[in-house]
């Protein structure tokens, strides 16, 4: 099972590193990373017969849900303003202000 979670983590990491143009893909990749960490916590919690790992899973799921909601709200507002959700205009806008 740890091999499966490692593969999921690697897919999420590759999604972040290789695809830097679409913000939706980056958010989905972050969700994959959090999913693999949650699965590892759950697996080790069951293996070690300890409830702490399952409590961490609940906290991480809460944080992931908040991150998704806030990220999608920001994307929606940005799309309404600019008409696109590509990261290049965001990067250029931040570079001009620094």
CATH number for the domain harbouring residue 53:
1.10.287.3510
By C-alpha distance, which of 24, 17, 18, 16 is closest to 78?
A: 24
- Tens-digit pLDDT profile for residues 43-53: 999 999 999 98
Contact predicate 67/50, CB 8 Å: no
Q: Per the structure, how many domains does the chain have?
A: 1
- Tens-digit pLDDT profile for residues 31-75: 999 999 999 999 999 999 999 989 999 999 998 899 889 988 988
What pLDDT is attached to residue 11?
95
pTM for this model (two decimals)? 0.78
Query: Which range of residues forms the domain containing residue 45?
Result: 2-97
What pLDDT is attached to residue 41?
93
Percent of the chain with pLDDT over 70: 91
Residue 94: pLDDT band (50, 70, 90) is: low
């Amino acid at each position: 099972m740890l091999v499966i979670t490692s593969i999921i983590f690697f897919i999420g990491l590759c999604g972040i590193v290789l695809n830097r143009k679409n913000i939706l893909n980056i958010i989905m990749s972050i969700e994959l990373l959090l999913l693999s960490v949650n699965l590892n916590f759950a697996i080790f919690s069951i293996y070690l017969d300890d409830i702490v790992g399952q409590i961490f899973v609940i906290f991480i799921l809460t944080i992931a849900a908040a991150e998704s909601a806030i990220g999608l709200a920001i994307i929606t507002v940005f799309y309404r303003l600019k008409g696109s959700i590509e990261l290049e205009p965001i990067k250029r806008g931040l570079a001009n202000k620094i």
